[in-house]
Each structure stands twice: as structure tokens, then as C-alpha cells.
Structure 1
Amino acid sequence: MTTLTPILTRTWDHPRSWTLQAYREAGGYRALDKALGMEAGEILTMVKDASLRGRGGAGFPTGLKWSFMAPPDGGPRYLVVNADESEPGTCKDIPLMMANPHALIEGVVISSYAIGCEHAFIYLRGEVVHVYRRLLQAVEEARAAGLLGDDIGGSGVTVDITVHAGAGAYICGEETALLDSLEGRRGQPRSKPPFPGAAGLYARPTSVNNVESIASVPGIVLEGVDWFTGMGTEKSAGFGIFSLSGHVRTPGQYEAPLGITMRELVDMAGGMRDPDKELKFWTPGGSSTPIFTAEHLDVPLDFESVAAAGSMLGTRALQVFDETVCVVRAVDRWTEFYKHESCGKCTPCREGTWWLKQILGRLERGEGSEEDLDKLLDISDNILGRSFCALGDGATSPITSSIQYFRDEYVAHLTHGGCPFDPAASTLWAKDGGTKETVSA
């Protein structure tokens, strides 16, 4: 079994772990002290050499993203932390900010110094008011201790942080929609180019990074590149927080090296919630990634291996479903979410997600025909790669993958004139209504 790597999660169970005192007692802000004695370019080079890849879903190299920013011209440059965690099943950034907000703040100060930013923003999902208050308190603590503001530690470095609460729109997790929202406009994806690195917040060079990505920077600065690359795989270095939810005995956040397998994580979580039920399907990166089945339990959870197996590592939101779950109903509920959260800017997503929901709802009720399955695939194909942002693409992933692995279950809904699934018995009712057919996971 792969060993867990409690780094960002190391102090989560400590009393008052969110306070500046507790963070400093655990070694916090030592990385900042070291960073302030380095040149900004040295920090950027360390992050690039460590091969830290974005932990928000896309997996783009963080240091490379920083280096793509337009060169300094005397005007402001911005770091924006994307804390708008709204993907169904994703739960890593919110507990991180709740239990260890100073890890993020230290990462923001170091990262801002590396890219020449003097004012950073943390854009938080608005519904999590308790996290918003905790972040505000942590920022005030850091500012009062001289860790934020002008001339930090007598170094001449100036960095301040504004914590902004969004209004609860999933689309604002897309970086350019987030920037529009932060500027006070309706959150909708921007046409690209220009990319944020050239013209982002207030039309200035901006880097938008995930919470976990930025919180990982202090460890790289303090412990070194070799320490970070010594975990994970050759192309997916380091560690990550894996969020297990659903039908496991002990759901929660498991911080482990990239490349760990789902089988190992399920074992760490105590196995399936009901040991008599088999795992049926699971999501490797949240509901916007193609689903996996039991045959994928030994796929290494790193960017390359998951992609080679036909899905995406995404946010490492591992939702586990046992054989009592109707896959058609699960996909129908996810699709309802994406339809509701579409911003409506582009036709493929605005119209396509609406039609996907209508057809899925019809199939779940046992109406329509098998031709509707081909229509779902056709609509998905017309959305994929043709929408302004990844929301449209993500809406198609659970549909196409579930038809790939569970087409028989879709057909069974039509054959029996409604959902034939008996959750208590993990079976499909037979057509004659007298016996049952077991559904293969």
C-alpha cells in the first residue's frame, strides 16, 4: 500500500489549527523567510523545476504558467487564487482553507513575490460563509504580524491580499469568468486570446491558480525541488489531496503521492460501506470527467495514466458508487446540474445541455427509444470542443462514458417502461415482472 503524505493536511486535527500561532508552531512561514532572501526568478525556477502541475483540474505546469505572463512594464501584475470550488463531489480546497488557511496565505505571498505581484486576490465560493470568515480572520492575523503589507520582514517586498466572495455561480470556476465576476461584471467566459497572462484582471498580466497549487509552493521553497519530485511519478510529481465520497466506509480527504491507485485508496478508506456490495462505477476527477468502473481500480492516479485510460484526473474528486446505484439516474442528476449552471453565452452549451437533460429524463422514465442513445452521443459530439469553456465539455463526459460502459442499463429502462432498478437487491426487474436479472457492474 502506498504511504500517505500528510503535508498540507498534517495539522488538520490539531486544536485551533487555523490560527497563526498553531501554523507557526508547525513550522509555518519559514518558507517565506527563506523566499524573501532569494531572487524572485529563483523561486519561479524552483517551481518550474519541481514540475508542480495545477491542482484545479487542467494540470498545466504552474511555473510555466507564471513564466507566460507578459514581462513587467511598470504597471500592476496580479495573482488570483481560484477558490470557487463548486464541482459536484470536489471537496479539497474548502477543508484546506478551513483547517489551514495560513498555508494558502504563505503560498500567496511567496507566489506573488515570484511573479512581481503586489496585490493578490482570493476568489471564494460565496456559499461557504464560514470559510470566508476564517480566511478574513487569517489575513488580518498575517497583516497584523507583518506578514502582509508593505516591506514584509524588512525585505522591501509588498504584498497584500483581498478575499472576495462570489455569488454562487459554478461558471465562475472558469478562470476568465472568475475575472469578469471579480471586476463586477456577470461571470461569463472570455474569448481567448488574449489570455490572462497577457490581459487578465483589469486588463493587466494575471496568473489564476488553484488553492492547492499555491499552498504547495511553500513546501517546494523550504524543502527543495528534489523533495517534491521524490514523490509522485516522473511526469506527475508531488502529492495531492484525494477526496473520497460515496459508498466507502470512511469518506474524507486522503493526501497521497500522485500515482496511487483507487484500489489502495478504497482500502485506506476501510473498503466499501457495505462489504456485500461491489463497486460499480466511480469518478476519477469529479462529475465532469468520464466515469471509470471496477476494471480501472489499478490505474495509477496521475495525469498521464488516467488520460491513457480514457478519463481525466481533474480535481481528484473520487465519488464511489456501489451496485445499488442506477447509473442512468446518477448521470441524469449530474446533467441537470450542468444545464442549470450553463451561463448561456454559447449556443452549444446553452442549447446542448438543455437537450441532453430532456432526453436523459425521458430515458430515465422509460420513454423514448434506443435511438435516443445515439442522439445523446450526437449532441455530446456537437458540444465537445465547440463551447467557450470546459463546462460544455464536462457535461458530455459522464453521458458518453456511461453509455460506453452501461448501455445495457439504459436499454433496460426502455425495455421495462421505467427505471427497472431495485436498489435494495442491486438487480433489474425482468421483463415479465416475475423474476429479476442481476445487473453486471
Structure 2
Amino acid sequence: MLSKHWNQDQSWTLDSYERNGGYQALRKALAMEPEDVVSQVKDSGLRGRGGAGFPTGLKWSFLPKPDGNPRYLVINADESEPGTCKDIPLMMATPQYLIEGAIITCHAIRAERAFIYLRGEVAHVYRRLLSAVEEARAAGYLGENVLGSGKNIDIVVHAGAGAYICGEETALLDSLEGRRGQPRLKPPFPAVAGLYARPTVVNNVESIASVPCIIENGSAWFSGMGTAKSAGFGFFSLSGHVQRPGQYEAPLGITLRELIEMAGGMREGHELKFWTPGGSSTPMFTAEHLDTPLDFESTGAAGSMLGTRALQIFDETVCVVRAVLRWTEFYAHESCGKCTPCREGTYWLVQVLRQLENGQGVPEDLERLLDICDNILGRSFCALGDGATSPISSSIKYFRDEYLLHLSEGRCPFDPVKSTLFAGVNA
């Protein structure tokens, strides 16, 4: 649904979007009461596409009753999770989906201002979003008296400075206000005191971009896809050792086996070793999980999380210890330092993992790793610390022998030349 026009000439323009039925959903939504729009999204079963999977319509309904003062929509476009790469191509190919969704959402929650917080390094996306917002404003979809409805709605595109921690919603809000991006103490939650201490809804790009489809086609249409508790469709981002890496839009509940078939299979002559179902902060899976339905409940029951559906695929040439170390180095570097468990814990995880990768240390270091993870998990200020422990604990669970092999051989037993971690085709 969201990718159906990506192959058209200049799909990012307003003309292309309108030719394909764009902004009809907005007209329909403006004729509805805001409460009815919220109810339709709630009935659709749309769950947040940013990782947590919280019901979108329910989140909107948490806002207190209007008091005559501002309230805001903030769209989290700070896509920074290793392996996650779905929002940027969506904003590049069809940014008007996001803009129309933002306008509808503002109408639903009675907000007059939306902010798109974009990762600062993607300057090309920033320019495209600015241009798309200007096109929408010139056409009367933004600004005062939107389409003659009496509604005043506008969008601000804000570029961050490239901090992973700003993917956490309250750190994002602090950054948007001009402060250092660090997680806030909750409560109060953003729905009560968010941006500028006013009621605020924070949603992911894909969540908001899915709203026009729901309004246009109805909640029953959307809930008819996916599974009973994980309704609808979404992007599955395949990277790594598959023949055709890329974005695969499919109903939730599809399996990795089906997605790999769509991607042309594993790279020739190799087989699947391990993979992440939702980015590097989710516990890894192995080949035994090929037929696990990729929905929130099934993935959770199997011991991981659906997350952002960032499927990083690794074959047998890859050293698990090396891959986990690279991820952990990322989390240690990106820790904001606000809380001790994450700041100190991720540092020590890196030190122990580096020793293990080099074949140094002792077998007891594995228990030391798990002990450090236990002291971070559930004790850090936000989910960054928790996410840093996931690849470590799950890799020891499935590949303990590989860790011990490093120690018995006194080195990494894998050839780094053959272990091209994120090669898309034969290497």
C-alpha cells in the first residue's frame, strides 16, 4: 500500500500523489468528527510501527480534553537503529503519505502544529520533506483554513544532530526544545506534558503514513490483513546475505522463509546462520525460527521482539562474536550517559567482548557478560540499555560453543574477508 507508487516517475511530487488518489482521505477525515477519526484508527488495530507496537488510536485517546491551549503531534523520523531502513525510503519516495497522515492526525487530536523530527545526517531527505511540505501548503492542504474546513494546521520539519538516543521519545522532545537529548523521567508522560510541557502525541513515520489508507478504506479493510492482534501491513527491511536486499511490504504474520524466497534466497552456496527480527536491539533468532510468524505476539512468544522489522540476515561465514561486538560498540558510543547501568555497563560489555573476540580471557567471562547484562536490563533509564543486552544474551544462548571456540583457539576462527557482514549479493 505505501510502496505501490514508488516505481512511478517523480513519485515524490504532489502531482504524482494526487493522480493516485492522494488527499482524498484528508477530505473524508475533515468531514468526520475528530473523535470518529480516533475511533476508526483504534478499530483498525494499527499498532505503532516504530518498535514498541503500542495501539496507535489508543495512544491518541490518552490526550486530555482540549483546554484551549496548544497540543502537538511529533513524528519520530530519527531512524537510527542498526538495520532499520524503512522510514527514509518512504519519505524519499512518497513523502506526501506522511504529510497527509500528519494532517489527518492533527485533526483527530485537535492539534494545529506537527513536527517531523528527522535524523540530521540524511540531508537529501530533509530537503525532500521541506519541498513536499511547501507543495502541500501551496495547494491549501496546510496553513490556515485547510481545504475550507476552518482548521489551521501546519508542519515543521526539524533536523536533529545524529544522536541515537533521540529515537527515544522524551529525549527527542528535549532535543526539539533545544536541550541536550536525554530521556525524561516519566511520569508525566508526553500525552500529558510533552513538547513545551503540553499534551503531545509521538508516533513513528510509518504509523502516521498508514493513517490515510485506513481512513480511505475503512478499519475493517485494514484489520482484515495481518493477524488478529497484529493487524495490517508493514515494511520488512531485509539486509545482509540475501540476493536482493530491500524493502518488502507485506501483512504482519509473514515468515522469514517467505521473505527470503521473495528476496531470491540466501547468497549462492551459503545458508542462514542467525538473524534479527527487529533490528540489533532485539534478541537474535536462528534458522530454527524461519517459520515463526512475524507479528508482535508470535515473535515475543519465541523469545524476541518484532521491533522495527529490520531483518539482518547472516550466513555461516559470519562470526557471531564479532557481529555482537560491533553492535555493542555502537550502543556504548551512543549511550547518553545519564544513567549508570547503561553508561558503565555498555563500556564493560565492550571490554569483555573484545577480549573474547581475540581469543583471550577465560570461559567464566561468558557468565561475567550475562551478569553485566542482568545489571543493565530493567535498571537503565530508557530502553537503550535493555536493547544493548539483547544480542549478547541471545547469542550466548544459541552460540555459546562459538564463544568457547575463540578461547580454545586463542583467536577468532572466522576469516574476516569471507565474513562480509552486510554484503547484499555474492561476496
| Moved >6 Å (runs of 4+) | none
Equivalent residues of 1:243, 1:254 under 8 A apart: yes
Structure 1 residue 409 corresponds to structure 2 residue 409: no
For residues 246 and 424 of structure 1, the distance between their equivalents in structure 2, rounded to whole angstroms, comes to 15
Residue 400 (structure 1) aligned with residue 390 (structure 2)? no
**Is structure 2 residue 389 aligned with structure 1 residue 373?**
no
In structure 2, distance between residues paired with 1:424 and 1:132: 36
Q: Secondary structure at the match of 1:70?
A: coil
Aligned: 1:52 with 2:54: no
Does 1:312 pair with 2:276? no
For residues 150 and 372 of structure 1, what CA distance do their matches in structure 2 show? 62
Identity of aligned residues (%): 76
Q: Which residue of 2 aligns with 1:29?
A: 23
In the TM superposition, 1:169-318 aligns within 5 A as: 169-274=163-268, 276-318=269-311
1:109 lines up with 2:132 in the alignment: no
Query: CA–CA distance in 2 between the matches of 1:269 and 1:91?
Result: 16
Instruction: Please give the alpha-carbon distance, in whole angstroms, between the structure 2 residues aligned to 1:231 and 1:18.
Output: 26
CA distance, structure 2, for counterparts of residue 380 and residue 272 of structure 1: 32
1:234-281 per-position Cα deviation (integer Å, ceiling 9, x unaligned): 00000000000000000000000000000000000000012x211000
Greater displacement, 68-77 / 211-220:
68-77
Whether 2:316 is the aligned partner of 1:323: answer yes
Look up the match of 1:14. 8
| CA RMSD after TM alignment | 0.9
CA distance in 2, matches of 1:271, 1:420: 26
Residue type of the partner of 1:108? A
Q: What is the CA-CA distance between 1:69 and the residue it aligns to?
A: 1.3
- CA distance in 2 between counterparts of 1:71 and 1:177 reads 25
Give matches, 1:135-154, under 5 Å.
Answer: 135-154=129-148
How big is each residue's C-alpha offset from its partner over 1:190-247, in whole Å with a ceiling of 9 and x where there is no partner? 0000000000000000000000000000011010011101100000000000000000
* Paired residues, number: 419
For residues 200 and 87 of structure 2, what CA distance do their matches in structure 1 show?
21
TM-score by length of 1: 0.94
Q: 1:131 and 2:130 equivalent?
A: no
Which ranges of structure 2 fall in alignment gaps of 5 or more residues? 420-427
Contact 1:324–1:424 (Cα < 8 Å) also in 2 = no
C-alpha separation in 2, matches of 1:200 and 1:423: 46
2:424 equivalent in structure 1: none
What is residue 353 of structure 1 aligned with on the other side?
A: 346
Contact preservation (8 Å) 1:281, 1:291: yes
* Structure-1 separation of matches of 2:160 and 2:401: 42
Alpha-carbon distance in 2 for matches of 1:347, 1:99:
41
Write the deviation string for residues 291-335 of structure 1: whole angstroms up to 9, x where unpaired: 000000000000000000000000000000000000000000000
**1:422 Cα shift?**
3.5
Structure 1 residue runs without a partner (length 5+) = 1-6, 427-441
| CA distance in 2 between partners of 1:423 and 1:394 (Å) | 26
Confirm or deny: 8 A CA contact 1:285 1:314 kept in the other structure: yes
2:409 maps to amino acid? H
- Cα deviation code 1:377-399 (max 9, x no counterpart): 00001100111110000000000
Cα deviation, residue 376, structure 1: 0.4
